[in-house]
Amino acid sequence: MKKNRLRKTVQIFFLVFIALIAVNHTLAETGAAIPLIGNASLHAVCPFGGVVSLYQLITAGTFVKKAHESNLVLMLIVFASALLLGPLFCGWVCPFGTVQELVSKLGRKLFKKKFNRFIPYSFDRYLRFLRYALLAWVVFMTARSGQLVFANVDPYYALFQFWTGEVAVSGFIALGVTLALSLFVERPFCKYACPYGAVLGLFNLIRIIPLKRNSSSCISCKKCDRACPMNIPLSGAGSVRNHQCIACFECTSTDGVCPVPGTLEFRTGSFEKSAKTGEAE
């Protein structure tokens, strides 16, 4: 298997898996569920449900409507992985991230090198904080109402529940806008609007195994900068702790575009020390 195909395979697996669960939930309501496939509701398998339930769970000991114990468990699992490597969930699992990437393939063909480079990074870097404002709004409103308020504007929910009649018009609009923007920008929802991505992004600041760049071997070809779907300027960094990293490995020298071995890696310890002990290769 080609290196860069591994992430795609995992992503497609989770995309299909979640789609099947969503469809099976509808089928189960009519008594026609496909055996051996889970039929939980889409809400019940979303780790973000755990995050927005936290306030109510702590203050009243209950989950918000449509959230369950599964949400809390999934949230903790994803947090554990994020503590280790950062937002692996975003880069490898999130079905909506995968859908945006699939649409972006078309955008890349249409706009070639211009794709994902429409907004200057100096301006764009501030826009990336929008998702924290959205996160604060979602957490506050959910705590106040006891309901999953984000579902009404959640394009992910709209995509995987469009046939149920439960999706608000605002959800469909959010979905349409996101898919349209994906033709110009890689993962627009993740960059600017995903409240769960905002939470997981914070783990980049404290992850145990960070992405590190070996400045002594780096040839400054900037291939990593161009490969990064989140437009992070990696070629000038030492230890990458950018809150937008999705741990996709596209930039690395182990599995991505970096042409110099032992230069851009997810690792602990220093490159020099590893070189002496022969670990880097």
Partner 1 sequence: MKITAKTAALILPLFFLVGILSTMAAGYWATESSKTPVKYETGEFAGEYNPADIRGSYSFGDIENVFGIPVDSLARAFGFTGEEDPSAIQAKLFEEVYGIVDGKEVGTDSLRYFVALYLGLPYEPDEETALPQPALSVLKKEAALSEETLAEVESRLVSLETVRLETDAVAETEHEEALDTTIKGKTTFADLYTWGLTEDQVRQGLGGLEPGARGTAVRDYCTEAGIEFSTVKTALQEMVDNL
Which spans of this chain sit near partner 1 (rule: CB under 8 A)? 3, 6-7, 9-10, 38, 40-41, 44-45, 60-62, 65, 68-70, 73-74, 76-78, 80-81, 84-85, 88-89, 92-93, 209, 247, 249, 252, 254-255, 265-269, 274, 279-280
Q: Which is nearer to partner 1, 74 or 193 (by Cβ)?
A: 74
- 64, 56 Cβ separation under 8 angstroms: yes
Q: Which is nearer to partner 1, 60 or 136 (by Cβ)?
A: 60
Cα separations in angstroms, 74 against 39, 44, 70, 122: 16, 9, 6, 35
Least Å distance, CB 173 to partner 1, is 24
Least Å distance, CB 184 to partner 1, is 27
Least Å distance, CB 261 to partner 1, is 11
Helix (H, G, I), strand (E, B) or coil at 212: strand
Q: Which is nearer to partner 1, 11 or 182 (by Cβ)?
A: 11
Least Å distance, CB 86 to partner 1, is 10
Q: Which is nearer to partner 1, 272 or 279 (by Cβ)?
A: 279
Which residue reads 């929910």 in tokens?
A: 157
Instruction: Give me the residues paired with residue 213 across strands.
Output: 264
First to last CA, the chain: 21
Q: Which own/partner contact pairs does 175-182 have at CB distance under 8 Å and 24+ positions apart?
A: 178/100, 179/99, 179/100, 179/103, 179/155, 182/100, 182/103, 182/104, 182/107
Q: Which is nearer to partner 1, 88 or 103 (by Cβ)?
A: 88
Amino acid identity, residue 254?
T
Which residue reads 């649409």 in tokens?
A: 103
Q: Which is nearer to partner 1, 52 or 103 (by Cβ)?
A: 52
Least Å distance, CB 93 to partner 1, is 6
Instruction: Give me the residues paired with residue 37 across strands.
Output: none
Cα separations in angstroms, 97 against 127, 133, 188: 19, 20, 9
Helical (H) or strand (E) element with 32:
none
Helical (H) or strand (E) element with 211:
strand 211-213
Least Å distance, CB 163 to partner 1, is 18
Least Å distance, CB 183 to partner 1, is 27
Q: Which is nearer to partner 1, 124 or 255 (by Cβ)?
A: 255
- 139, 55 Cβ separation under 8 angstroms: yes
Q: Which is nearer to partner 1, 134 or 234 (by Cβ)?
A: 234
Least Å distance, CB 118 to partner 1, is 28
